[in-house]
Amino acid sequence: MIGTDGAEVDFGRVREDFSLSKQFPAAALAEAEKAVSEGPKGDRVDATDLPLITIDPPGAKDLDQAMFIERVGDGFRVHYAIADLGAFVVPDGALDTEVRRRGQTIYLPDGNVPLHPTVLSEGIASLLPDQTSPAALWTIDLDADGEPTSATVRRAWVRSIAQFDYETVQAAVDEGRQHPSIAALPALGDLRREHAIRRGAVELQLPEQEVEPDADEGWRLVLRPRTKVDAWNAEISLLTGMSAAKIMLDAGIGVLRTLPDPDDGALAWLRRSAKVLGIEWPKDATVAELLAGLDASRPEALALFMDATRLLRGAGYTVFDGSAPELSTHAGIAASYAHVTAPLRRLVDRFGTEICLALCAGEEVPEWVRAALPLLPDLMEGSDSLASKVDRACLDQVEAWVLADRVGHEFDAVVLRAEGGSAEIFIAEPPVLGRCAGEGLPEGETIRVRLTAADATERRVEFERVEETA
């Protein structure tokens, strides 16, 4: 893509800097194409009568999940189909080797670097509408209060009847015309969110920057608001991940996403921050209850959300085979949890799914899964780190492009977190999260800042505080 000034404004250099390539080794691609021609492996039940639908970003083709939620008596039944990569990937084959090396799909504004060849991830293995697809089909029953009473997973044939995006579903909910397949989602989603707060789950309502093409063949930054549908959809995924974790822990084998509880110092810091920001912290309120009750549009709330990220440091993957691990919970979710709902995009989910499928069928966990377990933490942590760096590089690049002709201009900015002679700041228009030089910048307050640098080559944007004059 070329901008109006003739400069290249694509993300080719980001790809070069991080050695990202869509190309797969010939042997891996040949295995994928063979899997397509031969069709999915394994016996499975026919569940194509379930009216499943998908909810994904607009234009997405790598569709991992499809859902149908129904009322059963006073309670609920969640049918949650997950793309079945085990039906296509040969254990320890050339494709498996390459997928392990990649770890996850890397997303950039002008396209992704997929975990699997697109003949799988955007074709036969994806839960595309009107396509009969192999899936790991979860069935989770819940009581009237939204508490799970049973959960199982089995291999099945499924057929999604419609593909929606978040905004479309939210608009339908707002107008009172939900699709029948998810008519029960608002009620169940709200119940699950209430359970999350009572458990102590921490949700940070920080602004989410996104990059999208603009009318001048360049890029622009936008803030994507978190809708209720986002939250409800996330709760169904979390419910499934917690159900998978329970199955694994009960059997003494699995791979969990874990996060240690925050230490007393991090909690004390957050209490001090709340006091400085003028946020009342009721004596009996937990961190989860406090954060859930804040107005995310308020500057002081944004600052406290940023400080609360200190509570969520140290996430990792914990594997176990024989007995439950010492650390089996995720402090941010306030429960045991496993990744099993995004196997098209994340390596570990395929292994977690295979474990649950075997256990629910009363079978032994495959030896190739057992052998891979000790390797998964390093593979995933490496790919998580790369994905985070690429995401940040793309945002930094676009911020520099967007602000390139505004050096010297002044903006209103919210101080999110100050430390070490500078602070993280948030500017609403254009939506930029950057750093501002200055000592003692007041967290949670709006200050005036001046853009001092916007270097697209170095992907660097810098601000300084504009001192007020009498």
Query: Would the pLDDT of 4 be above 60?
Result: no
Residue 391 located in a structural domain: no
Instruction: Tell me the residue type at 173.
Output: V
Same domain (yes/no): 82, 122: yes
State which of 274, 294, 309 marks the end of a domain: 309
Lowest-pLDDT choice from 162-176, 202-216, 326-340, 425-439:
202-216
Give me the mean pLDDT over the 355-383 stretch: 98
Q: What percent of the chain has pLDDT over 70?
A: 98
Q: Please check whether residue 217 lies inside any domain of the structure.
A: yes
Residue 2 lies in a domain: no
The better pLDDT of the pair 127, 203 is held by 127
Is there a single domain that holds both residue 277 and residue 197? no
pLDDT (tens digit per residue) in 46-60: 999 999 999 999 889
pLDDT at 215: 75
Residue 416 and residue 304 in one domain: no
What does pLDDT average to over the chain? Answer: 93
227 and 160 part of one domain: yes
The verdict on residue 238 lying in a domain is yes
Same-domain pairing of 372 and 414: no
Question: Taking each helix axis from N to C terminus, what angle separates 94-102 and 26-38, rounded to the nearest 10 degrees?
Answer: 120
Give residue 439's pLDDT. 86
Establish if 398 belongs to a structural domain.
Answer: no
Domain range for residue 212?
12-260+314-385
Q: Is the domain of 230 the same as that of 123?
A: yes
pLDDT, greater one: 9 or 245: 245
pLDDT above 60 (res 218) = yes
Residue 361 to residue 368: CA distance in whole angstroms: 17
- pTM tops 0.85: yes
pLDDT digits (tens, 9 = 90+) for 10-31: 899 999 999 999 999 999 999 9
The single residue listed with the structure tokens 């936008």 is: 222
Q: What is the pLDDT of residue 224?
A: 81
Range from 224-238, 273-287, 456-470 carrying the lowest mean pLDDT: 456-470
Same domain, 281 and 342: no
Does the pLDDT at position 6 exceed 80? no
Q: Of 351, 385, 419, at which residue does a domain stop?
A: 385
Residue 442 within any structural domain of the chain: yes
Residue 207: pLDDT band (50, 70, 90) is confident
Cα distance between residue 258 and residue 243, in whole Å: 15
What percent of the chain clears pLDDT 90, i.e. is strictly above it?
A: 80
pLDDT value at 1 more than 50: no
- Please give the pLDDT value at position 396: 94
pLDDT of residue 317: 98
The total of structural domains in the chain comes to 3
Q: Are residues 80 and 161 in the same domain?
A: yes
**For residues 192-222, b (16+ Cβ closer than 10 Å) or e, as one string?**
bbebbbeebbbbbbbbebebeeeeeebbbbe
pLDDT band at 366; cut points 50, 70, 90? very high
Q: Do 416 and 288 fall within a single domain?
A: no
Give the three-class secondary structure for 307: helix
pLDDT score recorded for residue 469? 60
What residues pair up with 173 in beta bridges, in sequence order?
A: none
Q: What is the residue whose two structure tokens read 């070069």?
A: 16
Q: Which residue has the higher pLDDT, 283 or 140?
A: 140
What is the average per-residue pLDDT within 236-255? Answer: 98
Average pLDDT over residues 254-272: 93
Backbone φ, ψ for residue 457 (5° rounding): -70, -45
- Is the alpha carbon torsion for 179, 183, 185, 186 positive or negative? positive
Q: Answer with the one of 309, 338, 369 that is the final residue of a domain.
A: 309
Helix count (H) and strand count (E) of the chain?
A: 13, 17
pLDDT tens digits, 61-104? 999 999 999 999 999 999 999 999 999 999 999 999 999 999 99
Q: Identify the band that residue 8 occupies on the pLDDT scale cut at 50, 70 and 90.
A: low
- Same domain for 195 and 279, yes or no, is no
Q: Which two tokens stand for residue 111?
A: 């396209």
DSSP for residue 135:
E
Residues 172, 246 within the same domain: yes
Q: Indicate whether 119 and 55 sit together in one domain.
A: yes
What is the per-residue pLDDT for 3?
A: 41
Q: What is the CATH number of the domain that holds 420?
A: 2.40.50.140
Q: In this structure, is residue 3 part of a structural domain?
A: no
- Tell whether 144 is covered by a domain: yes
